[in-house]
Amino acid sequence: MPSTTKPMLDAYPKSINLDRAKLAAAIDALNDCAQACTACADACLSEDMVAELTKCTRTDLDCADICTTTARVLSRHTGYDANISRSLLEACATACKACGDECARHADMHEHCRICAESCRACEKACRDLLATIS
């Protein structure tokens, strides 16, 4: 099923101060990353070596929460505030980098960490791409 993000942005009745295609890509990447991080954290808790994955689990959950919040804020345009969007995207890119780095440390042993690291890298890039368009 294709994403409804871009059609919803296109249906917004007024102008949006952001590139709609990059905005849609960022929102989709944020939602994908939040899902991957949530699933990775859960998978980490199911591993026999769970104690060694404590930092990974925490980083996953922080990243998921930040991505979810950022996606929600970026989906609202009435009364848009570029400073808030910019701050959230910067925080999200930072969280995605930290989570991607942490998951990459475990990627050779845990497929869920490899998948999560890739999702975090893609989300970090999408956040930075959208950030570059905010004046």
- What single string gives the DSSP state of each residue in 33-83? HHHHHHHHHHHHHHSTTGGGGHHHHHHHHHHHHHHHHHHHHHT--TT--HH
Cα 54 versus chain centre, distance: 20
Which CATH number describes the domain made up of 19-131?
1.20.1270.360
Distance CA 50, CA 124 (A): 26
Res. 1 pLDDT band, cuts 50 70 90? confident
The predicted-structure confidence for 42-90, as pLDDT tens digits, reads as follows: 999 999 999 999 999 999 999 999 999 999 999 998 988 999 999 999 9
- Greatest alpha-carbon pair distance for the chain in Å reads 52
- Mean pLDDT over residues 87-106, rounded? 98
**The pLDDT of residue 106:** 97
**The pLDDT of residue 102:** 98
The residue among 91, 92, 113 whose CA lies nearest residue 104 is 113
Sign, CA dihedral 11-15-20-24, equals negative
